[in-house]
Amino acid sequence: MSSYITVIGGVNNSATHVSGIVQVPASGLSGTSLASLQSIVDVVNAAVANGQSSLVNFDAIAGKTATFAGSSSSGGIYEITNTDSTGASAAGTANNISVTVPSSANEVVVQVPGTVSVAGNGYTSTYLIGSQSNAVISTNGSAAPSGNSGSNPNQIYDLGGNTTIYAGGDNQATLSGGLDRFKVLTGNDTVLATGSASVQAGVPTGYAGTLDFINSSSAQATVLGGHGSVTAFGGNAGGLLYGGTGGNNSLIGGNGGVSLVGAGNNDYLLAGGGGATTSALNNDLFAGPGNETLMASSVTQNNLFAAGSGTDIISSAGSGSQAFFAATGSATMYGSTVSGATNTYFFSSSLQGGGGNDVLENFNSKTDNIVILSGVNIVSVTGANNGNYPTGAALVTLSDNTQITMVGYNASNLQKFVGGSIIT
């Protein structure tokens, strides 16, 4: 059985009523989701049918426009279809057609098969994009039309086509199936993905938006944060989640393996969050230039952490191999204490440039290792005279001036490693 959303269409030129329907194909949506969306569309259908709202139907195959004027001065549907003014469908596809949404419209329907570029009118709109359409949508903002007050987010429903959305203003998008790209320019945006999605915030360069992204699909997602701030949940399939340089990013991995990349200050990166179950997939977490928190929950197994140039807190509860890479900043690292877990801490001048100040809170000589690369070695081990460590601590200094504080250790027990490049 075909899946589609039914929208009123086929304009009768008698100027007394509108007849006909346009079936907008859908792919990747559940029956419940289709029914819910149809109920939203039916409200608009009724407003056109009773003569309150206007309808403009652009037959993209024939290049003709038919209009029905409603009694209201604002509000209405703008349809880009393969349907003529009698409601009859034409064969063929659109070939790189460009249209601009009329100022009176606040509902936009893209049903025509093929490639079409749509420039929004800058007002609050609902966009409904069919699964056979390769659409490029520029929302151009989310202000209220003349005569109306307030500003609400654009509601964007992609029904499974290959859609690219340039999102200016505030937007809420549902991307279903297809291969979709959501590009945040400005405003506050929320994206719910049930198919493959690639999200870029602050693209082109120079723009900054705030993005909330939820991946509810079984496909991997890519989120590139740009200049704004990003809250992203990787879902079942994981993917690449890249924070924005605006900082305050929250990047959460679910059941799938993820690469989480911080980009600003006060970022929070978590692998195995959001109610995830045990997964054997690998996770990679990279701190940005600011102060970052990197964590892996107990449902994860193998995790890699890379510190940044700021003051970082890195902690793992994974049950497999945990790899920690130090950098030029000051990182406090907590290895996993789960049975069977191992923790390896890497220090390298070629990676970090040397000179970092790091703290290892729970180093376990039975399961953990410190590995020093790039020809760097241990030059001294002394007691760390710091009241912050009531159980004592040893300060390990490397030949590139990196300092490692090992909490709970006595310097005398580590003297044997001086001159070498490994602590076990």
Q: Which single residue is written with the structure tokens 């790189």?
A: 96
Query: CA of 95: how far to CAs of 58, 98, 112, 400, in Å?
Result: 14, 9, 10, 61
Could you tell me the pLDDT band of residue 349, with boundaries at 50, 70 and 90? confident
Please give the pLDDT value at position 150. Answer: 41
Examine the pLDDT at 179 and tell me if it is beyond 80.
Answer: no
Check residue 130 and give its pLDDT.
Answer: 92
| Full DSSP string of 47-76 | HHHTTSSEEEEEETTTTEEEEE--SSSS-E
For residue 185, the model assigns a pLDDT of 58
pLDDT tens for each residue of 238-272: 889 988 888 999 999 988 899 999 998 999 999 99
**Sign of torsion, CA 296 199 311 372?**
positive
At 220 the pLDDT is 78
Helices (H) and strands (E) in the chain, counts: 2, 36
- 194 falls in which pLDDT band (50, 70, 90)? low
- The full DSSP string for 245-256 is TT---EEE--SS
CA torsion through residues 298, 299, 301, 302, sign: negative
d(CA 35, CA 409): 63
What would the DSSP string read from start to end of 206-247? T---EEEEEE-SSS-EEEE-TTSEEEEE-TTT-EEEE--TT-
Task: Look at residue 204 in the predicted model and tell me its pLDDT.
Answer: 46
Residue 191, pLDDT > 60, answer yes
Highest-scoring range by mean pLDDT, 23-32, 103-112, 148-157: 103-112
Confidence band for 70, pLDDT divided at 50, 70 and 90: confident
> pLDDT confidence of 205, banded at 50, 70, 90?
very low
Report pTM: 0.74
Is 362 in contact with 338 (CB distance < 8 Å)? no
Query: Is the bond into 145 cis (omega within 30 degrees of 0)?
Result: no
Comparing 88-97, 313-322, 333-342, the range with the smallest average pLDDT is 88-97
Residue 275 — very low, low, confident or very high, per pLDDT cuts 50/70/90? confident
Higher pLDDT, 10 or 227: 227
Summarize the confidence of residues 228-241 as an average pLDDT.
Answer: 84
pLDDT at 10 (0 to 100): 64
Indicate the helix (H) or strand (E) that contains 200: strand 196-201
Quick one: pLDDT at residue 203? Answer: 45
Confidence of residue 342 (pLDDT cuts 50, 70, 90): very high
Residue 413 has φ and ψ, to the nearest 5°, of: -75, -10
Q: Are 227 and 201 in contact (CB under 8 A)?
A: yes
**Is a pLDDT exceeding 50 seen at residue 7?**
yes
Percent of the chain with pLDDT over 90: 48
Question: Can you name the residues that pair with 306 across neighbouring β-strands?
Answer: 286, 325
Least confident range from 44-48, 84-88, 227-231, 330-334: namely: 84-88
Answer whether residue 209 shows pLDDT above 70: no
Average model confidence (pLDDT) across the chain: 85
Point out the least confidently predicted range of 35-39, 84-88, 288-292, 417-421. 84-88
How far is 248 from 230, CA to CA, in rounded Å? 8
In the predicted model, what is the mean pLDDT of residues 125-138?
Answer: 90
Look at residues 44, 120, 116, 121 and name the one whose alpha carbon lies nearest to residue 77.
Answer: 44
Q: Is pLDDT at 385 greater than 80 in this prediction? A: no
Taking residues 297-326, what's their average pLDDT? 97
d(CA 124, CA 153): 6
pLDDT score, position 277: 84
| Count, residues in the chain | 424
pLDDT > 50? residue 326: yes
% of the chain residues with pLDDT over 70:
84
Rg over alpha carbons for the chain, rounded to the nearest Å, is 28
pLDDT of residue 147: 46
Burial of 346 (0-12, 13-18, 19+ CB in 10 A): middle
Q: Does 325 have pLDDT greater than 70? A: yes
